[in-house]
């Protein structure tokens, strides 16, 4: 193994060993060790002394790149940062993958065709998911049916503190060189496919790359670190009051409004979002009252009543989009369900996406006043209430004094008659 390759392995291995010393286990560590740096082992050349045959990315002193075997690199998209061998990815951000290619055959071999590489393709592989704390590899390959070796590869590494899903940004794979094929968009299906995508120097000669540095170039494509996430907020209010809360105190027979708010708080689209609701005993749905507002329908409209029977698919939502669902339900007046005093019931809802299911509920306290009950709520005692309390207490005191004086007068009259 060459010195430069040892250096690249050291840059990867030392941080990993340091983390392992803290007792943190990487599930992908074994796979990572099997796919470190570049390959296969091959004869190397220099800028001053090119190869005497067709071979790719085997020069060790490329003025712009250094060791060409290290030809897959990464940086944050849109930045002027230097391409690196590894990077920490964050949810919502885009990253640019760089794959360099260079047929190292001497330029004077092209006249006889001995330096021209044929059926040249670039292939890449991207991790679909990076779990929190894991290291994942992005692999790049340069292939040619008449080069030696016929395939060379290299990897760059992505790490993530939070679990993310890596997504190719459509139409972002671009070919860069000084020929007429410069700026061409590569087919993603081929680039990520079994055989790879053909590259070219001339736009009418795909798959043909002559020897010498003037025909070299690179491919870039962007990936986005997606983090799916969403929220649901369930609220209740008395009918038409829009005083939304997590819990409420009501009387039997009242009509209540319920509200379910979904929000896509992640960085990826969510499709076929579905809402379910479970009505408790004593609460009856008012038919035809389910109303929904979405980004596509800001005014809202009445929708199917299947919320309580199989659920309602409320649609697809991009990152940051919100949908609101409301409906009405009426409390029973049956004394066997809601007897004297307080009865607590809960209205439960769930919301499901391909990324999981979450739950929320509202608490409903039903108070039936049968006389002599302890008041359900103690009034707040602001300044007005304090004054009112003083007046009431004073009135009670005056009344008691009047009663005592009256009783004394009655007793006196009675005694005089005796």
Chain centroid offset of residue 37 CA? 30
CB 70 within 8 Å of CB 4: yes
Residue 304 lies in a domain: yes
Q: How far apart are CA 122 and CA 402, in angstroms?
A: 104
- Burial class of residue 404 in the structure, from the number of CB atoms within 10 Å of its CB (0-12 exposed, 13-18 middle, 19+ buried): exposed
CB 56 within 8 Å of CB 117: yes
Regarding whether 277 and 213 lie in a shared domain, the answer is no
Regarding whether 309 and 204 lie in a shared domain, the answer is no
Residue 343 lies in a domain: yes
Residue 382 lies in a domain: no
Regarding whether 116 and 102 lie in a shared domain, the answer is yes
Regarding whether 239 and 210 lie in a shared domain, the answer is no
Chain centroid offset of residue 226 CA? 5
- Burial class of residue 348 in the structure, from the number of CB atoms within 10 Å of its CB (0-12 exposed, 13-18 middle, 19+ buried): middle
Regarding whether 284 and 187 lie in a shared domain, the answer is no
Phi and psi torsions of 348, nearest 5°: -100, 140
Provide the number of structural domains found in the chain: 2
Return the DSSP state at 59.
Answer: B
> What are the CA-CA distances from residue 93 to residues 158, 265, 332, 381 (Å)?
13, 15, 52, 52
In the listed set 159, 192, 226, which residue is the last one of a domain according to the structure? 226
Return the DSSP state at 40.
Answer: S
136 beta partners: 158
Regarding whether 157 and 68 lie in a shared domain, the answer is yes
Please report the pLDDT score of residue 374 as a whole number.
Answer: 52
Give the start-end residues of each E strand in 279-340. Answer: 283-285, 291-294, 297-302, 312-317, 322-331
Q: How far apart are CA 135 and CA 161, in angstroms?
A: 10
Q: How far apart are CA 219 and CA 100, in angstroms?
A: 6
Chain centroid offset of residue 134 CA? 17
Regarding whether 107 and 40 lie in a shared domain, the answer is yes
- Burial class of residue 330 in the structure, from the number of CB atoms within 10 Å of its CB (0-12 exposed, 13-18 middle, 19+ buried): middle
Residue 57 lies in a domain: yes
Q: Which long-range contacts (CB under 8 A, 24 or more apart) does 2-7 make?
A: 2/44, 2/60, 2/69, 4/60, 4/66, 4/67, 4/69, 4/70, 5/37, 5/38, 5/69
Regarding whether 24 and 12 lie in a shared domain, the answer is yes
pLDDT along the chain (418 residues), means of 10: 38 36 33 62 97 98 96 96 95 96 97 96 95 94 98 97 92 97 97 96 98 98 93 96 96 97 92 94 96 92 91 93 96 96 96 91 96 53 37 38 43 45
CB 91 within 8 Å of CB 226: yes
Q: Which long-range contacts (CB under 8 A, 24 or more apart) does 299-307 make?
A: 300/324, 307/275, 307/276, 307/277
**Residue 157: which H helix or E strand, with range?**
strand 151-160
CB atoms within 10 A of CB 114: 15
Residue with tokens 């579905």: 274
Q: How far apart are CA 120 and CA 197, in angstroms?
A: 8
In the listed set 226, 245, 260, which residue is the last one of a domain according to the structure? 226
Cβ-Cβ contacts under 8 Å for 329 (sequence gap 6 or more): 255, 256, 258, 279, 283, 284, 285, 286, 347
Residue 208 lies in a domain: yes
Regarding whether 193 and 164 lie in a shared domain, the answer is yes
Return the DSSP state at 390.
Answer: H
* Domain with 251 in it: 230-368
Regarding whether 288 and 212 lie in a shared domain, the answer is no
In the listed set 183, 207, 226, which residue is the last one of a domain according to the structure? 226
Regarding whether 252 and 160 lie in a shared domain, the answer is no
Residue 415 lies in a domain: no
Q: How far apart are CA 191 and CA 133, in angstroms?
A: 28
CB 105 within 8 Å of CB 214: no
Regarding whether 236 and 196 lie in a shared domain, the answer is no
Residue 376 lies in a domain: no
Domain of 335, CATH number, reads 2.60.40.740
pLDDT tens readout for residues 122-148: 999 999 999 999 999 999 999 999 999
Task: Look up residue 329 and give its two tokens.
Answer: 């339900």
Residue 387 lies in a domain: no
């Amino acid at each position: 193994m060459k010195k430069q390759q040892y250096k690249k392995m050291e840059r990867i291995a030392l941080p990993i060993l340091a983390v392992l010393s803290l007792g943190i286990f990487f599930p992908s560590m074994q796979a990572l060790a099997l796919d470190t740096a570049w390959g296969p082992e091959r004869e190397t050349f220099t800028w001053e002394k090119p190869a005497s045959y067709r071979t790719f990315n085997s020069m060790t002193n490329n003025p712009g790149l250094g060791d060409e075997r290290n030809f897959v690199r990464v940086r944050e998209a849109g930045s002027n940062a230097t391409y690196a061998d590894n990077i920490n990815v964050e949810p919502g951000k885009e990253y640019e993958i760089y794959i360099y290619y260079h047929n190292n055959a001497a330029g004077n071999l092209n006249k006889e065709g001995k330096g021209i590489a044929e059926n040249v393709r670039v292939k890449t592989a991207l991790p679909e998911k990076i779990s929190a704390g894991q290291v994942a590899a992005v692999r790049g390959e340069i292939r040619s049916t008449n080069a030696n070796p016929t395939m060379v590869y290299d990897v760059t590494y992505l790490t993530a503190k939070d679990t993310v899903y890596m997504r190719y940004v459509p139409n972002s794979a671009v070919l860069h060189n000084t020929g007429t094929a410069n700026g061409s968009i590569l087919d993603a299906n081929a680039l990520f496919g079994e055989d790879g995508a053909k590259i070219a120097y001339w736009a009418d000669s795909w798959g043909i790359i002559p020897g010498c540095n003037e025909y070299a170039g690179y491919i870039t494509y962007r990936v986005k670190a997606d983090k799916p996430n969403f929220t649901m907020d369930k609220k209740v209010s008395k009918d038409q009051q829009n005083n939304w809360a997590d819990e409420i105190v009501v009387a039997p027979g009242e009509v209540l409004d319920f509200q379910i708010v979904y929000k896509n708080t992640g960085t990826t689209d969510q499709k076929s979002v579905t809402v379910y609701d479970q009505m408790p005993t004593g609460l009856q749905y008012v038919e035809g009252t389910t109303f929904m507002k979405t980004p596509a329908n800001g005014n809202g409209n009445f929708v199917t009543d299947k919320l309580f029977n199989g659920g309602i698919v409320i649609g697809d939502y991009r990152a940051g989009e919100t949908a609101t669902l409301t409906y009405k339900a009426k409390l029973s007046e049956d004394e066997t369900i809601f007897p004297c005093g307080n009865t607590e019931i809960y209205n439960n809802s769930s919301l499901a996406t391909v990324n999981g299911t979450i739950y929320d509920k509202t608490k409903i306290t039903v108070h039936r006043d049968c006389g002599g009950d302890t008041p359900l709520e103690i009034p707040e005692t602001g300044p007005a209430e304090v004054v009112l309390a003083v007046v009431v207490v004073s009135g009670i005191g005056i009344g008691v004094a009047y009663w005592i004086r009256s009783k004394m007068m009655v007793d006196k009259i009675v005694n005089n008659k005796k």
